[in-house]
Amino acid sequence: MRILGIETSCDETAAAVIDDGRVIRSNIVASQLAAHERFGGVVPEIASRQHVLAIVGVTREAMRGDGYDWSDIGAIAVTRGPGLSGALLVGINFAKGLSLARRLPLLAVNHVEAHVYSVWLSGQIPTPPAPLLPMVALIVSGGHTELVLMLSPGHYRVLGRTLDDAAGEAFDKVGRLLGLPYPGGPSVERVARTLPQDIEPATLPRAWLPGTYDFSFSGLKTATLHMVSQSRGHARPPVDPASRGDTLAPLEPVQVAAIARGFQDSVVDVLATKLARAAKEFSARSVAVVGGVAANEALRAGVASVVDVDLHVPEPGLSTDNAAMIAAAAFFRPVTAGYDTDADPSLSWSDDATLSA
């Protein structure tokens, strides 16, 4: 079946046409990065307005692909949550309009669950999904950090989740602490790579939360903050000692690199170790790392070095938010929605009646 997917849960306006949950006919993403950059984070009101401006053009482009038109589309899939409520509403109401006008079924999708289905879009995966299952998936993005055991489409067990910040959020905050460009994740990774081989990364703590598959990054973030202040206090004195306010010296580039590497090492160590342990405990046939942070090479290498089953990591354009994964999820696990479907900003796996957490 050919499905048109629509995604507007955060700061990407996206539409995609996907065949049988696996074959990408079109995958259009309009990033709002430039609109939010100067604020150092996503501004919900701006996000909603940008979605309104972009959604028609993005969908038209997705429908402009070769060899298909509206008469070939079998359903419209849209993200119901979790996400920013105003942003979600744009996509949901747009999808309802399309569904009504084109007389097509409307399918509602959980955005976090959909990240897992990005694995089936790589083109190299067998269908049906059974050969990969059970699969342990690590979903790491700016809004989520969850470790999930997938037994079959629609049948999951959430093994652990973050108790505070999401992994990507921690990267973004540490990027800001280090004075790096937004978003922090790619910046921290880039700078960490510049650490000379003969210089040790900063030593930062790991929150193991023994006996659980949960995660916590707030202690690491605070430890990083202390290290930044300490390093700045010990750095060269400011050029103008009479300057008011922040009188500490800026960090030297090598100090920034050492802290970025130490922070990244800590995050990767905990994520990879817990993913590998879960894969063993639940006899997984494969593991997956999905979501924006999956773009991090150190994380991919760290996971590859500790798991002994197949590792699936979608290409970067499918790891970050996109509508292809929304259409894929709707194909493998269709949830029919009525016109009274509302956005659910805090939709969790267990809130959805058909999911078993």
Footprint on this chain of ligand KG4 (rule: CB under 6 A): 10, 141-143, 168-169, 171-172, 183-186, 189, 291-293, 295-296, 320-321
> Closest separation between CB of residue 332 and Zn ion, Å?
17
Decide which of Zn ion, ligand KG4, none touches 142; Cβ closer than 5 to 8 Å per partner kind.
ligand KG4
Decide which of ligand KG4, Zn ion, none touches 81; Cβ closer than 5 to 8 Å per partner kind.
none
Taking the CA atoms of 20, 25, 27 and 28 in sequence, report the sign of the dihedral they define: negative
> Closest separation between CB of residue 112 and ligand KG4, Å?
8
> Closest separation between CB of residue 71 and ligand KG4, Å?
33
> Closest separation between CB of residue 183 and Zn ion, Å?
13
Q: What is the contact surface with Zn ion in residues (CB under 5 A)? A: 141, 321
* Nearest one of 166, 170, 169, 150 to 158, comparing CA atoms: 150
Residue among 26 and 296 whose Cβ is closer to ligand KG4: 296
Residue among 160 and 168 whose Cβ is closer to ligand KG4: 168
Beta bridge partners of 2: 19
Decide which of Zn ion, ligand KG4, none touches 184; Cβ closer than 5 to 8 Å per partner kind.
ligand KG4
DSSP state of 71: G
* In contact, 12 and 86? CB cutoff 8 Å: no
Residue among 281 and 297 whose Cβ is closer to ligand KG4: 297
Residue among 214 and 321 whose Cβ is closer to ligand KG4: 321
> Closest separation between CB of residue 347 and Zn ion, Å?
13
> Closest separation between CB of residue 195 and Zn ion, Å?
29
C-alpha angle 35/13/8, rounded to 5°? 110
* Nearest one of 105, 77, 112 to 91, comparing CA atoms: 77
Residue among 189 and 265 whose Cβ is closer to ligand KG4: 189
* Nearest one of 116, 109, 155 to 337, comparing CA atoms: 109
DSSP state of 222: H
Q: Which residue's CB comes closest to ligand KG4?
A: 292
* In contact, 117 and 252? CB cutoff 8 Å: no
> Closest separation between CB of residue 27 and Zn ion, Å?
15
Q: Is 155 helix (H, G, I), strand (E, B) or coil?
A: strand
Decide which of Zn ion, ligand KG4, none touches 344; Cβ closer than 5 to 8 Å per partner kind.
none
What tokens were used for 287? 């593991």
Decide which of Zn ion, ligand KG4, none touches 320; Cβ closer than 5 to 8 Å per partner kind.
ligand KG4
> Closest separation between CB of residue 188 and Zn ion, Å?
19
Residue among 134 and 291 whose Cβ is closer to Zn ion: 291
Taking the CA atoms of 232, 235, 238 and 242 in sequence, report the sign of the dihedral they define: positive
Decide which of ligand KG4, Zn ion, none touches 185; Cβ closer than 5 to 8 Å per partner kind.
ligand KG4
Residue among 44 and 105 whose Cβ is closer to Zn ion: 44
**H-type alpha helices, the chain:** 33-37, 44-62, 85-102, 111-117, 167-177, 184-192, 218-233, 253-281, 297-306, 316-319, 324-332
Q: Is 224 helix (H, G, I), strand (E, B) or coil?
A: helix
Residue among 172 and 321 whose Cβ is closer to Zn ion: 321
What tokens were used for 309? 């089953």
Buried b (16+ CB within 10 A) or exposed e, 275-307: bbbbbeeeebebbbbbbbbbbbebbbebbeebb
